[in-house]
Structure 1
Amino acid sequence: MPKYKTKLLYLLIGLPVTVFGQSFTGTITDSQNNTPLPYASIGVKGKSIGGIADSKGHFLVNITNAAPSDTIIVSYLGYESKTFVKRDISQSAYHIELVPGALQLREVAARGKRATIIIGNKKASAQYTGWGDYISSKGRLRGVAIQTTDTPLKLSKFKMRLNACEFDSVRFRLHILPLQTNYSGNLNAELIDENIFFNAYKDQKWVSVDLTPYNLVIHQNIVAAVEWVDSWVKKESRNESYLLTISLSREEGYIYVRETPEEPFLATKSKFTPTIYFETYKPGNSDIPK
């Protein structure tokens, strides 16, 4: 990817640290090979305080408004999380090593062409949801409940309709979660065991992600969500915000919003829901992960 100038990098990670505030800062790496973990999450449990690391694993989060007894969780998909208590944070910077979890090996079967089954919202309206500022943008999330009676289904493509993308490039992380009682969503119950990052580009409308390498089979209704983790512009050509918005469909349902890691992830009934869908097909026995 071209080395675009990052727009207000640390403002995207967290709010400015004041003289009387307190910051939690450092680097997050893999404990086995010391490689950085890009876009790892840092959040105060149950509160709207937190952010994510940058592409090199560096992070800076303002925890001034957290209580001394609050728990700060550092997490990365496919790894065991680490926790800290605010009152115990004393170092100027931390080197946090996360231990890889037990990943499920997948067996990918080469099969002939199958009938495509669409699940989710495919038709966009003039309505939209999203973001229009730089400050604390990283870690923001939008999602939609997707229900189907055809499970199990194998996911072959993920598609999303953007209403506006004024950045030169934006990076997202895909989340696929089980749809729980009362349409709740739990980001700690991912149905995937590794990060799926993808990019969108200036003025792009339809974004498509090939999911065949991941051999994902769903057996239940899900929440599909996208998280904004990074953005780039070639130069700072204006003072106002660059827009990044997702089109909404006219399908009534449940929309999911989260601004920072570890805060409550709740569903809201809405007449308009994000234009997000999957192309799927009915799997054979050899398509289902052992």
Structure 2
Amino acid sequence: MTTNKLIVLSFLISLPITVVGQSFKGTVSDAVNAKPLPYASIGVKGKSIGGIADADGRFDIAINKAAPTDTLIVSYLGYASVKFIKREISQSAYQIKLSPGALQLHEVIAQGKREIIPIGNQKASGQYTGWGDYKSSRGRLRGVAIETNELPLKLAKFKMHMDACEFDSVRFRLHILPLAGGYSGNLKAELINENIFFNVNKGQKWVSVDLAPYNLVIDESIVVAVEWLDAWVKEEERDESYKLTISLSRKEGYMFIRNTPEEPFLPTKSKFSPTMYFETYKPGNGGVE
């Protein structure tokens, strides 16, 4: 009897630790004004484990496949990241507060009439890439490498062609990273330091995002990618997933894929690459149209 009691007691003592170790949950907010940080990224460094917070900064990430020594990183563009070691996670829920970082913007002298220089893939084909059920696809990403010798360039607009959007509305986050030696998938830190969100509506084909307010200048080849954050649809029964797909161009190139925030990008060379491009112009020729 004594042995059985000890076994039960040991199980009860270890149960909370086991439950906590299976998931990492809580909220992410601004340390200064306490406002929630929507769609904050949470991931295990170097592994395909993680996800994103919801529109209110709440998250619940399964980490049962992470090793006790793995590092979890909570991040948000424009803010200092916070790190946790899995074996040290002891709370049932965390209130994570991220501190804003200093924004560093390129200075651009605007003068004269600007000549628009498109870079990237402008023509869509009948091929496509994309996702199905948004509940399992939130946080997944598609991108393309854009190489150009017309440098430096100021980014005026980002454009993307949708093959299909059956949701009433979908929210994306834009990512721009330096290509450098990125064909290995090990891309460097983002070139932008704040979140650029945009929505796509049901049936929409061409999507255009105004980048003028962000004052972005590139002086190297880049990878541009979009991350699926959220989706909305009217309540109705449907046996199959809603389709959300991005058109591919017939231009050979590298497609970049990532499923969770802290895993390496997976670059794949293909005869078809995502129909995404920028309207740009040379700094110093940035007069208002």
Residue pairs, 1:146-157, within 5 angstroms: 146-157=146-157
- Alignment length (residue pairs): 270
Partner in structure 1 of residue 73 of structure 2: 73
Q: How does 1:41-190 map to 2 (within 5 A)?
A: 41-105=41-105, 111-181=111-181, 183-186=183-186, 189-190=189-190
Q: Normalized against structure 2, the TM-score is what?
A: 0.88
Give the C-alpha shift of residue 32 in structure 1. 0.9
Alpha-carbon contact 1:131-1:245 (below 8 Å) kept: yes
Cα deviation digits, residues 232-268 of structure 1 (max 9, x gap): 1121331321011000001001110001111111211
Tell me the CA shift for residue 160 of structure 1. Answer: 0.2
CA separation in 1, counterparts of 2:28 and 2:144? Answer: 30
How big is the shift at 1:86? 1.0
For 2:222, give the aligned amino acid: I
- Alpha-carbon distance between aligned partners in 2 of 1:134 and 1:38, rounded to the nearest angstrom: 16
CA contact (8 A) 2:120 2:278 kept: yes
Q: Which residue of 2 aligns with 1:255?
A: 255
1:57–1:20 distance in 2 versus 1, CA, 3 Å: closer
Q: Residue deviations 1:38-60, cap 9 Å, x none?
A: 00000011111111001110001
Q: Give the corresponding residue for 1:217.
A: 217
More deviation, 167-176/182-191: 182-191
Contact residue 43 and residue 262 of structure 1 kept, 8 A? yes
Unmatched runs of 5 consecutive residues or more in structure 1? 1-17
Structure 2 match to 1:269: 269
* Residue identity in the other structure for 2:80: E
Q: For residue 126 of structure 1, give the secondary structure of its aligned residue in structure 2.
A: coil
How far off is 1:105 after superposition? 4.5
1:117-151 CA distance string (max 9 Å, x none): 11000000100001012342111000000011110
Q: Distance in 1 between matches of 2:83 and 2:227?
A: 22
Deviation at residue 114 of structure 1 after TM alignment: 1.3
Moved over 3 A (4+): 18-21, 105-113, 184-188
Once the two structures are superposed, what CA deviation does each residue of 1:54-104 show, in whole Å capped at 9, x if it has no partner?
A: 111000111111111111110000111111111111111100011111211
User: 1:229 Cα shift?
Assistant: 0.6
Q: 1:175, 1:127 → 2: CA distance?
A: 23
More helix by share: 2
TM-fit CA distance, 1:111: 4.3
Rg: which structure is higher? 2
| Paired residue secondary structure (2:87) | helix
Q: 1:229 maps to what in 2?
A: 229
Gaps of 5+ in 2: 1-17
The AA in structure 2 aligned to 1:127 is Q
Structure 1 residues 202-238: Cα deviation after superposition (integer angstroms, max 9, x where no partner): 0101000001111111101000000001111121331
Say what the alpha-carbon RMSD is for the aligned residues: 2.0
Mark the CA change 1:157 to 1:86 in structure 2 (over 3 Å): closer, same or farther: same
The code of the aligned residue for 1:161 comes to: H
Q: Answer yes or no: is the 8 Å Cα contact 2:166–2:202 preserved in 1.
A: yes
- CA 1:147/1:105 → structure 2, altered by over 3 Å: closer, same or farther? closer
Residue number in structure 2 paired with 1:8: none
Aligned to 2:33: 33
Kept in 2, the 8 Å contact 1:185–1:223? The answer is: no
Q: Which amino acid aligns with 1:153?
A: L
CA deviation profile, 1:180-208 (whole Å, cap 9, x unmatched): 21524556511111100000000101000
Residue 243 (structure 1) aligned with residue 243 (structure 2): yes
129-138 or 177-186, which deviates more = 177-186
Q: Residues 108 and 213 of structure 1 are in contact (CA less than 8 Å); yes or no, is this contact kept in structure 2?
A: no
Contact 1:146/1:223 (<8 A) preserved: yes
Residue identity matched to 1:33: N
Q: Helix, strand or coil for the counterpart of 2:77?
A: coil
Following TM superposition, by how much is the alpha carbon of 1:20 offset from its aligned partner in structure 2, in angstroms?
10
Identical amino acids, percent of aligned pairs: 73
